[in-house]
Chains A and B, each alone.
Chain A
Amino acid sequence: AQSVTQLGSHVSVSEGALVLLRCNYSSSVPPYLFWYVQYPNQGLQLLLKYTSAATLVKGINGFEAEFKKSETSFHLTKPSAHMSDAAEYFCAVSVSQGAQKLVFGQGTRLTINP
């Protein structure tokens, strides 16, 4: 079964520092991977997705993620954190059979310190 593990339920960084949110996946087939962001009291918004076209994926708001098959990872990074990046971030893998659902990680809450 496909699954996702996000390491760290809370991450805190200073404004201007590197943001690194970790995601590892488990999949017996080539995965489709997604990062979503949830701002307070809002729905989920797509940041970026990996669909096998390129291993380094650029998304919105300066975020990017690199697919590493050997490490089964899809970590999310941003070179310089901004106060507006404070939110909860979810990594998800898309199940390609049956329900064709998104299987989500537990989420990582990102806090930005001034």
Chain B
Amino acid sequence: EAQVTQNPRYLITVTGKKLTVTCSQNMNHEYMSWYRQDPGLGLRQIYYSMNVEVTDKGDVPEGYKVSRKEKRNFPLILESPSPNQTSLYFCASRGAGGPYETQYFGPGTRLLVL
């Protein structure tokens, strides 16, 4: 089954404790992206990757890091989480055809930073 998986689904942590949210897709997609969802704001892009070893900032990259060492994986790293990073996070992927292609979303990771 074609899918995007994320782990963990739920996470409670404390300010300053480094964490990683994993994302993996099995569709051989070149393009991957991270979004955060906040009430009343819709989804906003954090980082994206056009291919292996190619990453760039989205609209709200502060406090986040990413890496793309393998085509299927695109982890999101919070090196020193803060309460304003409490949010619902989604990973997405699509093929290389272009912006008309469908982005497929993972199930989401709900993060609470105390």
Residues in chain A within 8 A of chain B (CB atoms): 9, 32, 34, 36, 41-46, 49, 51, 90, 92, 94-96, 99-102, 104-107
Contact = CB atoms under 8 A, between A and B. Distances in A.
A41 B104 CA distance: 16
A46 B102 contact: yes
Contacts of B92: 44, 102
Interface residues of B, number: 27
A34 B35 CA distance: 16
A100 B48 contact: yes
B98 A96 contact: yes
B43 A104 contact: yes
Contacts of A104: 42-44
Contacts of B98: 96, 100
Contacts of B4: 43
A99 B56 contact: yes
Given A42-B107, A99-B48, A101-B48, A32 B42 contact: no
A94 B101 CA distance: 9
Interface of B: 4, 31, 33, 35, 40-45, 48, 50, 56, 58-59, 90, 92, 98-100, 102-108
Nearest to A107: B42
A96 B90 contact: no
B106 A95 contact: no
A51 B100 contact: yes
Report the 9 A-B pairs with minimum CB-CB distance, sorted nearest first.
A104-B42, A94-B99, A44-B105, A43-B105, A51-B100, A101-B45, A43-B107, A104-B43, A96-B99
A9 B40 contact: yes
Contacts of A100: 31, 48, 50, 98-99
B48 to A, nearest CB: 5
A25 B50 CA distance: 25
Nearest to B104: A46
Nearest to B44: A104
